[in-house]
């Protein structure tokens, strides 16, 4: 495998539930650096294909290494997974025997390491001082995290921190943001982190999860309209699956998982699918030790009937 830094989460479980067979075709809706796709391609030869989609052009570049090993069996598309139907049509891809939707971010996106010059400035990480952008793709609209923290009203900022970040200090943080921006525009991640630190108690700074995590999550979700995108893609994915096709979704926080759970429950009542996971599957202790980001991952899987 090429030097992909991202460790694919719940890899064993993804392969178990997708169950890739000879000459079957799969869509990896968030291909990232290609970790999951590589393992699927190892199992669906000699003619099975994987369509790898990613909104982030750098992630698509990071997955290009797959072509050296798997040639025309890997098909890449720099687009949003909400356009999955159009992408499949454009690429003349099918039938679709399985779809993977991994809603997590990769190490490259989070850390900014390994990105080409000029692409470090995304603001996803609170470990590096970066501009507050947070768009996965610069071409997808003009809303940035910087625009939200500097131009949105206090109540609206508080609402997204509370709803999207489940941040218990949302009121104090939003008030602190307003006070800080009166003195000058908040432009970087470190400036925002300092605002969050001042607004929250010292005990909060010693918690296992970094005190800025929930605020950054909320801003990223708002900038990229992530929750609405999940609501859009789930029915599309189900309709595109062949009979007995499998759908695997990995979510990383309760808001995502709730959307997935409720959608699947509704489809069970319509008898369009069968649950392969009565409860969400989580990472083992061994995986969490190797890859701490997997600790919040929840996997749900279905088969189309």
Could you report the per-residue pLDDT of 173-224, keeping only the tens digit for each? 999 999 999 999 999 999 999 999 999 999 999 998 899 999 999 999 999 9
pLDDT value of position 117: 43
Identify whether the C-beta of residue 304 lies closer than 8 Å to the C-beta of residue 245: yes
* Residue whose structure tokens are 């072509």: 67
Identify whether the C-beta of residue 102 lies closer than 8 Å to the C-beta of residue 250: yes
pLDDT value of position 3: 41
β-pair partners for 7: none
Q: Which strand (E) or helix (H) includes residue 98?
A: strand 96-102
pLDDT value of position 109: 52
Identify whether the C-beta of residue 295 lies closer than 8 Å to the C-beta of residue 283: yes
Identify whether the C-beta of residue 63 lies closer than 8 Å to the C-beta of residue 31: yes
CB atoms within 10 A of CB 11: 16
Domains of the chain plus CATH, in order, are 11-108+226-304 (3.40.50.150), 118-224 (1.10.150.170)
pLDDT value of position 280: 97
Rounded Cα–Cα distance for residues 230 and 224 (Å): 11
pLDDT value of position 6: 60
Strand, coil or helix: 52:
strand
pLDDT value of position 115: 47
Rounded Cα–Cα distance for residues 189 and 201 (Å): 20
Nearest to 187 by CA among 126, 133, 113: 133
pLDDT value of position 113: 47
Rounded Cα–Cα distance for residues 238 and 245 (Å): 9
Rounded Cα–Cα distance for residues 85 and 87 (Å): 5
Q: What is the pLDDT along the chain (305 residues), one digit of tens a residue?
A: 444 446 899 999 999 999 999 999 999 999 999 999 999 999 999 999 999 999 989 889 989 999 999 999 999 999 999 999 999 999 999 999 999 999 987 555 555 544 444 445 688 888 889 999 999 887 777 899 999 999 999 999 999 999 999 999 999 999 999 999 999 999 999 999 999 999 999 999 999 889 999 999 999 999 999 999 999 999 999 999 999 999 999 999 899 999 999 999 999 999 999 999 999 999 999 999 999 889 999 999 999 99
Rounded Cα–Cα distance for residues 253 and 164 (Å): 10
pLDDT value of position 142: 85
pLDDT value of position 52: 98
Beta strands (DSSP E) in 222-281 are 241-251, 273-275
pLDDT tens digit string along 31-63?
A: 999 999 999 999 999 999 999 999 989 889 989
β-pair partners for 101: 249
Crossing angle for the helix pair 154-163 and 213-224, nearest 10 degrees?
100
């Amino acid at each position: 495998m090429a030097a992909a830094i991202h460790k694919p989460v719940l890899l064993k479980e993804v392969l178990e539930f997708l169950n890739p067979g000879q000459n079957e075709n799969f869509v990896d809706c968030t291909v990232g650096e290609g970790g999951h796709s590589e393992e699927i391609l190892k199992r669906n030869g000699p003619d099975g294909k994987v369509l790898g989609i990613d909104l982030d052009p750098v992630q698509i570049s990071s997955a290009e290494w797959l072509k050296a090993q798997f040639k025309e069996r890997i098909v890449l598309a720099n687009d949003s997974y909400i356009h999955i139907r159009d992408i499949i049509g454009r690429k003349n891809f099918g039938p679709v025997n399985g779809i993977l939707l991994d809603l997590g971010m990769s190490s490259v996106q989070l850390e900014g390491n390994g990105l080409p010059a000029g692409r470090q400035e995304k603001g996803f990480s609170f470990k590096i001082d970066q501009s507050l952008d947070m768009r996965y793709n610069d071409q997808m609209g003009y809303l940035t995290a910087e625009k939200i923290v500097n131009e949105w009203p206090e109540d609206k900022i508080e609402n997204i921190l509370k709803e999207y970040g489940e941040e218990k200090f949302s009121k104090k943080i939003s008030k602190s943001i307003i006070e800080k921006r009166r003195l000058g525009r908040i432009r970087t991640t470190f400036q925002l982190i300092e605002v969050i630190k001042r607004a929250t108690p010292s005990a909060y700074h010693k918690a296992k999860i970094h005190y800025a995590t929930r605020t950054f999550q909320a801003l990223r979700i708002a900038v990229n309209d992530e929750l609405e995108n999940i609501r859009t893609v789930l029915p599309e994915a189900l309709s595109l699956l062949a009979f007995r096709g499998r759908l695997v979704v990995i979510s990383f926080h309760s808001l995502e998982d709730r959307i997935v759970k409720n959608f699947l429950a509704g489809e069970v009542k319509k008898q369009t699918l069968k649950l392969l996971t009565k409860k969400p599957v989580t990472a083992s202790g061994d995986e969490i030790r190797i890859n701490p980001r997997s600790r919040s991952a929840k996997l749900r899987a279905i088969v189309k009937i």
